[in-house]
Chain A
């Protein structure tokens, strides 16, 4: 298995899911009673949480300050950082 490649694939999935969540979040701020958007938001939250859990177990935490465990050593410091672009 190509580790770097599957890491990027999972990251792209997380980026896509989280983008949907951001967009729905802003929409719900001004349309809090839109049931469909709320249902979509809650569905994305579940899918995003599952994808992030899978990513963090394999490649280390995406969030620090107590929001993700770090069972196999302190991996928060691992490179690459987001601006260190991999093509």
Chain B
């Protein structure tokens, strides 16, 4: 069971349309290292985790990633909602507009749709947790590139928050990997 809380995890402020920035940020909605991929990866890997702590970490981080997906959606939605068509064209978002108007859809920065091929679930918890650590680093890098591209201080503030969360998640997955390794070692020797 999941509960929806009618609030964002972190406040989003947008004062003017910026379809060019939205075109880039949307990759954290539906791109390879985005929040949808992160959430679904952890929430589907949790079933085959061998220890209670790993099941909790994957459930909790997978749930927090859903909240991040909502933050990214709120950013993109507000950056394109009042953008005139001329700006949408100038930003190279006219192809997106043809398919989706100003609606939200899961694509990367170049318009490629989300695919489950972005994520894995191997059954081997050591393998999966290594993927999760790499995923957090890839998301952190993407947020860094988005911060470099951003010309909107309010958007930059939100991107910084999201980047810091990836650092924390990487840390927690590293600790989880160690706990799983210790569990597997104990099983091997006793």
A74 within 8 A of B: no
Q: Do B10 and A19 have beta carbons less than 8 Å apart?
A: yes
A31 → chain B closest CB, angstroms: 8
Q: Nearest B residue to A30 by beta-carbon distance?
A: B175
Q: Which residues of A contact B133 (CB under 8 A)?
A: none
Interface string of A10-54 (1 = CB under 8 A from B): 011011001100110111011110000000000000000000000
Interface string of A66-84 (1 = CB under 8 A from B): 0100000000100001110
Bound CA span A59–B4, Å = 17
Q: Which residues of B contact A76 (CB under 8 A)?
A: 6
**Which residues on B are within 8 Å of A, measured CB to CB?**
3-15, 53, 56-57, 60-61, 64, 70, 73-74, 77-78, 168-169, 172, 175-176, 179
Bound CA span A15–B179, Å = 31
Q: How many residues of A contact B (CB 8 A)?
A: 27
Partner of B74, one of A18, A25, A29, A83: A83
A64 within 8 A of B: yes
Bound CA span A63–B110, Å = 36
Q: Do A83 and B73 have beta carbons less than 8 Å apart?
A: yes
Given the contacts A63-B3, A83-B70, A26 and B10 also touching, CB distance less than 8 Å: no
Q: Do A19 and B9 have beta carbons less than 8 Å apart?
A: yes
Bound CA span A46–B5, Å = 18
Q: Which residues of A contact B73 (CB under 8 A)?
A: 83
Given the contacts A29-B60, A63-B3, A87 and B15 also touching, CB distance less than 8 Å: yes
